[in-house]
C-alpha cells in the first residue's frame, strides 16, 4: 500500500492582483495543513497511532493502536501486555 504525501509547492499560480491573497492562503492555511497531514501520515506509516484510554499512559492495557501492515490497515488493542488484533481491513 502506498500513501502519497501532499506536494509542497513553493509557489501557487496566481493571476495579477491576487498575489497577496494567494500568499496569505499559502502561508496561513496550506503550509500548516499540509505539514500536519504529512506528519500524521508519517506517524501512522512508521509506528502506528495509539489511542490512549482516559486515565492510561502510552503502552497501557486497554489502549487501541492503528497500524499498517503490508497492504492492510490493522486495529489492535493492548490486552495483558500484548497487542491483540481486533480488525484487519484488507488494502487490496
SS3 92: coil
39 and 67 co-located in one domain: no
42 and 68 co-located in one domain: no
Answer yes or no: is 65 within a domain: yes
Give the position of cell 489502549: 63
> Which candidate, 4, 3, 2, 6, places its Cα nearest to that of 34?
6
Q: Which DSSP helix (H) or strand (E) runs through 63?
A: none
User: What is the pLDDT at residue 92?
Assistant: 73
Per-residue confidence in pLDDT tens, the chain, 92 aa = 455 665 555 555 555 556 777 777 777 888 888 888 887 777 766 778 889 999 999 889 999 999 888 888 899 999 999 999 999 999 87
C-alpha cell at 12: 501557487
60 and 85 co-located in one domain: yes
C-alpha cell at 46: 512508521
Strands in the chain per DSSP E: 49-51, 64-69, 72-79, 82-89
- Which structural domain, as residue segments, surrounds residue 86? 49-92
85 and 53 co-located in one domain: yes
Amino acid at each position: 500500500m502506498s500513501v502519497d504525501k501532499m506536494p509542497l509547492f513553493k509557489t501557487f499560480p496566481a493571476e495579477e492582483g491576487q498575489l497577496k491573497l494567494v500568499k496569505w492562503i499559502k502561508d496561513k492555511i496550506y503550509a500548516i495543513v499540509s505539514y500536519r497531514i504529512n506528519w500524521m501520515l508519517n506517524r501512522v506509516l512508521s509506528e502506528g497511532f495509539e489511542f490512549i484510554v482516559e486515565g492510561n499512559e502510552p503502552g497501557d492495557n486497554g489502549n487501541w493502536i492503528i497500524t499498517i501492515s503490508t497492504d492492510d490497515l490493522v486495529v489492535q488493542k493492548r490486552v495483558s501486555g500484548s497487542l491483540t488484533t481486533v480488525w484487519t481491513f484488507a488494502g487490496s
